[in-house]
Amino acid sequence: MTREHPDGGPGTSYPVVPVGRVESPLHDRDAAPRQGDEDAPEAWLAFGAAYGPALRDLAPGDDVLLFTWLDRADRTRLTVHPRGDASRAEQGVFSTRSPDRPNPIGLHRVRILAIDADGSRLHVSGLEALDGTPVLDVKPVLGDIADR
């Protein structure tokens, strides 16, 4: 099957641009919890000043989906031992949540605990992302979309 797409074929890529950064006590991938529900610490999201308008309707108490770029991931891995456990058979990364995958986009459900006075920093609940991780996007949670 031959198909043509206006944006090009194989080899095309698109640049993602960090809109902010995670500030977290987590610095070491090997010590970080693997998911946000496993005792992950609170963190701050520090957004670039330009993104104030995009953030302005978020409020403390909101549950949101946070998208990050897992910049310390291995993008060449297509299979992994689940949860890094070498005793388990390797599994295709698309059926795991391993950070190691072709496009290491992190997806995290977090609650906004507080927003600082100028609106550019969000304090959020349990986040397993490492300090310095680029933030790409914030969206309302799935299932709460009827009026968005």
Compute how many other C-beta atoms are within 10 angstroms of the C-beta atom of residue 137.
16
Q: Which residues contact 5 (CB under 8 A, 6 or more apart)?
A: none
Q: Is 65 exposed, middle or buried (0-12, 13-18, 19+ CB in 10 A)?
A: middle
Contact 124, 116 (CB under 8 A): no
Q: How many residues bind a copy of itself (CB under 8 A)?
A: 61
Comparing CB distances to a copy of itself, the nearer of 67 and 113 is: 67
Q: Residue 147 interacts with a copy of itself (CB under 8 A)?
A: yes
Among 2, 3, 61, 87, which residue sits at the site for a copy of itself (rule: CB under 8 A)?
3
Shortest Cβ 123–a copy of itself spacing (Å): 14
Among 82, 111, 120, 123, which residue sits at the site for a copy of itself (rule: CB under 8 A)?
82
The terminus-to-terminus CA distance of the chain in angstroms comes to 37
Q: Residue 7 interacts with a copy of itself (CB under 8 A)?
A: yes
Residue 95: φ, ψ to 5°: -110, 20
Comparing CB distances to a copy of itself, the nearer of 79 and 125 is: 79
- Beta-ladder partners of 123: 44, 114
Comparing CB distances to a copy of itself, the nearer of 31 and 145 is: 145
HSE (CB half, 13 Å, CA atoms) of 126? 9
> What residue ranges bind a copy of itself (CB under 8 A)?
1, 3, 5-7, 10, 12-19, 21, 23, 35, 37, 46, 48, 51, 53-58, 62, 64-65, 67, 69, 71, 78-79, 82-83, 91-97, 101-103, 105, 107, 109, 132, 134, 136-140, 142, 145, 147-148
